[in-house]
Structure 1
Amino acid sequence: MIILVNRFLLRKKFVGIALWPFLILKDHALKTDVVFMNHERIHLRQQIELLVVFFYLWYGVEYVIRLLQYRNRYTAYRNISFEREAYAKEKDIGYLQKRPFWVFLSFL
């Protein structure tokens, strides 16, 4: 994992993004936010499981489906299976050590 801090690489409402193998953060203080970092590490694991390219394809397709379903960008984003898993487990700091392979499917 390579951490980059650059407030200009992210859109206005984003504070960080996982783009394997990088974590791009808007502020240095986010490096010490354990919950936030765990959320982003969960995304890195998801990306590795789907060989990176398939993660982004799945993420994009599921976002479009959720957007059609909810007609709201934020609600669509929060209901993507990858995001549902990451938000549900971000406070469980030991989650990645016990996380089953492809468990994001249970969040569909």
Structure 2
Amino acid sequence: MKEAPAQTAVADSKVSKIIKSLSELEDDLDSLNVKVSDMKKNLSSRAQKEIDSLREQVTQMAIKEAESIISEARSKAESQAKKISSDGAAKLEKTKSTIDSKFNEAVDSVVSTILKP
């Protein structure tokens, strides 16, 4: 049995509509794939910029912290150097004072030792 021409035309029309719909759906999927790809690139770019920004901020914070530590260490070292210098000057003064006070006694001791028969 042959189908009637009207039924064939209707069936062809429905098949054409389905094929057309599938074609449009495929185009939409391709378009979505392109958009998703672009979004991935955009997101990746933004993430990289944020990473770079955060890396710069961390570096600046580390530099400031290091400078603070160095400054504190320098200040402490200078304070200790002044104390050592002060202590050294006091000891030197004490040594000079001891030498001065014992000088005459030492001279007398040396002279008496030399002059002893």
Q: Provide the TM-score with structure 1 as the length reference.
A: 0.20
Larger CA Rg, structure 1 vs 2: 2
Q: Which has the higher contact order (CA 8 A, sep 6+)?
A: 1
